[in-house]
Amino acid sequence: MEKISPDTAESSSARCLEGARACPPEDCGGTPGYDDLLKILENRKHPEHKSMKEWLGRPLDPEAFDVEKTNLWLRKLKWPRVTEAQLRKVIMARLTAHD
């Protein structure tokens, strides 16, 4: 978080200003698992390459980050009182979106 705005219409939501890289896929094993996944996907001769591509089920660009798409998903949350259930619903929708 960089700044909290005064209570205005603009402050009724969170806004991403910048970012870098795609987030790791769910259940990849945290940072070490993500590093391993990237190494496996980069090496077509790796014994786990095919199975990891199948497990992932979609293309993965680890350098991809889109501020506008991030803000689109942040706007779907009901700020300032975001519940865990609401957050889970938005995250699950984002994970299953094919954009």
Q: How far apart are CA 36 and CA 42, in angstroms?
A: 10
| Sign of the torsion angle spanned by Cα atoms 94, 24, 85, 79 | negative
Domain with 45 in it: 25-64
Query: Any idea how long the chain is?
Result: 99
Any domain includes 18: no
**What does the pLDDT look like over 13-44, one tens digit per residue?**
788 889 998 888 888 898 899 999 999 999 99
My answer on whether 75 and 95 are in the same domain is: yes
Helices (H), 1-99: 30-42, 49-56, 67-75, 84-96
Q: Give me the number of domains the chain comprises.
A: 2
Supply the pTM of this predicted model.
0.61
Any domain includes 9: no
**What does the pLDDT look like over 57-88, one tens digit per residue?**
888 999 999 899 888 888 888 777 888 888 88
Any domain includes 15: no
